[in-house]
Copies of this chain bind each other. A is one copy, B any other.
Amino acid sequence: MYFNIDPKKNVPLYEQVIHQVKEMCAKGILQPNEKLPSVRELSSQMVINPNTVSKAYQELERQGVIVTIRGRGTFISEDFTHTFDPRLLKNMKQSLKQIIIDSHYAGITKEELTKWIEEVYKEIGGQKREN
């Protein structure tokens, strides 16, 4: 459980935590039913405010990525169900488009970008969550 958090980035800390957890799940580093560190543990380990970790956990739970069982702790959820939110899809599509355009302005060719994407899928490929 190593977290890579950079307060200098303009991405909010709590979002970085969310991203990290989701990434580790996708890569299979975190397995379903696995226990996550407590809010206090994680916050002291990362040297950030407990509220920040708490907020991240809440959002992760809202997204169905984790579940907290009162008195027992927080766990990776066993049964992740995709939620087809059309607005979410639209947003992702738009973000993707924006990145493509920006990369285009930065001189990145379609081939390079495709290579990047391949790399990401390779990292998470063997551990595809298919439930």
Contact = CB atoms under 8 A, between A and B. Distances in A.
Contacts of A62: 62
A69 to B, nearest CB: 5
A12 B92 contact: no
A96 to B, nearest CB: 5
A101 B83 contact: no
A45 interface: no
B97 A120 contact: yes
Nearest to A19: B98
B70 A10 contact: yes
A124 B105 CA distance: 12
A93 interface: yes
Given A85-B106, A96-B96, 20 more contacts: A7-B72, A8-B67, A10-B70, A22-B101, A22-B105, A26-B101, A83-B106, A84-B106, A89-B106, A89-B108, A92-B102, A96-B103, A96-B116, A96-B117, A97-B120, A100-B117, A101-B120, A104-B124, A104-B128, A105-B129
